[in-house]
Amino acid sequence: MDTHNVVIIGGGAAGLSAAIYLGRAGLSPILLAGSPPGGQLMLTSEVENFPGQKSILGGELIDVMRKQASAFGTTIVDENVGSVELVKPVKLVKLAGGTEYKTKAVIIATGAKALWMGLPSETKLRGKGVSACATCDGFFFKNKTVAIIGGGDSALEEALTLTKFASKVYVIHRRAEFRASKIMQKRVLEHEKIEVIWNAAVEEVLGQFKVEGLKLKTPEGEKTVKLDGVFVAIGHRPDTDLFKNQIDLDQKGYVLTTAMYALQQLSNKVEQTKTHTYDVHYQTLTSLSGVFGAGDCVDHVYKQASTAAGMGVQASLDAERWIESQ
């Protein structure tokens, strides 16, 4: 079996951007894009804030990137990875279907998934008024009434974002107290366009072909709110289970790269690791030599297609330099 230069795991904005650079550098990368491929961009409708693209469907943007990566010599495989062995100098990546790849370097770009409430009506109306990203989709709700579900920093930040477009924003939270930081709470509670509905569990997203409202369960009984859009902001989960016992992850499962490790140390959120050292010359390096991380599986702050693409590029440049140094 040949040993490849680099295997990229994940076919979203981060993985594809890394592939474009590595392909162009002549390193013939293998991109294991998963099934279905494309990451969170496949779940958004229109993208209007990816630099250079005035307006493009998320799926189309992925398609263009895939063609660009292939044109520069990337082999794209739309299958899921079943297991990895990353500790030894030659790393092994195994597809769920059994095919194995030996490689010098690995870029982990597996992304994150927005958590959903898990209601059938929510699934049915996703992309038809139900969204998990106010920055992406808020624009489509100019002068409309929308609701945001959740009580953490993401929910309150998204509620404030939505006030720039919507005429009225409900924040619907399952408890009587927010989890978010005090400053965000103050901003939300003082905002004239925002109304909080406390102690409310969402029972159903109403509407046949598009969102028309929400049915809520409150201590006072069932309540219906008329709405044009519903934004779910109850957290994200990085797709990193595959790597759990091999590279350092933070408490929530995000990949710790040198850059994230340094940031977390500055905020005293992680102890000095006893098992690994991080190399400051490679910002996207994980706790293992030759293994890099990029995109939403690393970043829980910015979470944009363009920032994921940027980090993918960083990881590709780091991997290229690292391969040369070996």
Give me the active site residues, please: 133, 136-137
Shortest Cβ distance from residue 203 to ligand NAP (Å)?
A: 11
Contact 38, 59 (CB under 8 A): yes
Residue (47 or 155) nearer to ligand NAP, CB = 155
Shortest Cβ distance from residue 3 to ligand NAP (Å)?
A: 39
Contact 168, 227 (CB under 8 A): no
Amino acid sitting at position 37: P
Q: Does 300 bind ligand NAP (CB under 6 A)?
A: yes
Other beta carbons less than 10 A from residue 201's beta carbon: 13
Q: Does 215 bind ligand NAP (CB under 6 A)?
A: no
Residue (74 or 161) nearer to ligand NAP, CB = 161
Please report, as residue ranges, which positions from 226 to 245 form the binding site for ligand NAP (by CB under 6 A).
234-235
Q: How far apart are CA 14 and CA 20, in angstroms?
A: 10
Shortest Cβ distance from residue 257 to ligand NAP (Å)?
A: 17
Q: Fill in the per-residue mask, 143 to 182: x = in contact with ligand NAP (CB under 6 A), - = not in contact.
A: ------xxxxxxx-x----------------xx---x---
Contact 73, 23 (CB under 8 A): yes
Q: How far is CA 275 from CA 90, 252, 283, in A?
A: 20, 19, 18
Cα 22 to its chain centre, rounded Å, is: 22
Residue (32 or 125) nearer to ligand NAP, CB = 125
Residue (76 or 155) nearer to ligand NAP, CB = 155
Residue (299 or 320) nearer to ligand NAP, CB = 299
CA 144, 125, 227: angle at the middle one, nearest 5? 25
Shortest Cβ distance from residue 24 to ligand NAP (Å)?
A: 34
Please report, as residue ranges, which positions from 183 to 202 form the binding site for ligand NAP (by CB under 6 A).
none
Give the β-pairing of 130-131 and 145-149: unpaired
Residue 171, both tokens: 């924040």
Q: Does 117 bind ligand NAP (CB under 6 A)?
A: yes
Shortest Cβ distance from residue 181 to ligand NAP (Å)?
A: 6
Amino acid sitting at position 121: S
Q: How many residues bind ligand NAP (CB under 6 A)?
A: 15
Contact 237, 115 (CB under 8 A): yes
Shortest Cβ distance from residue 153 to ligand NAP (Å)?
A: 4
Shortest Cβ distance from residue 155 to ligand NAP (Å)?
A: 6
Q: How far apart are CA 63 and CA 47, in angstroms?
A: 13
Q: How far apart are CA 63 and CA 43, in angstroms?
A: 14
**Residue nearest ligand NAP by beta-carbon distance:** 152
Residue (225 or 319) nearer to ligand NAP, CB = 225
Phi, psi dihedral angles at 106 (to 5 degrees): -130, 135
Contact 66, 76 (CB under 8 A): yes
Contact 224, 218 (CB under 8 A): no
Contact 68, 252 (CB under 8 A): no
Give the β-pairing of 130-131 and 229-232: parallel
Residue (16 or 117) nearer to ligand NAP, CB = 117
Residues that bind ligand NAP (CB under 6 A): 117, 149-155, 157, 174-175, 179, 234-235, 300
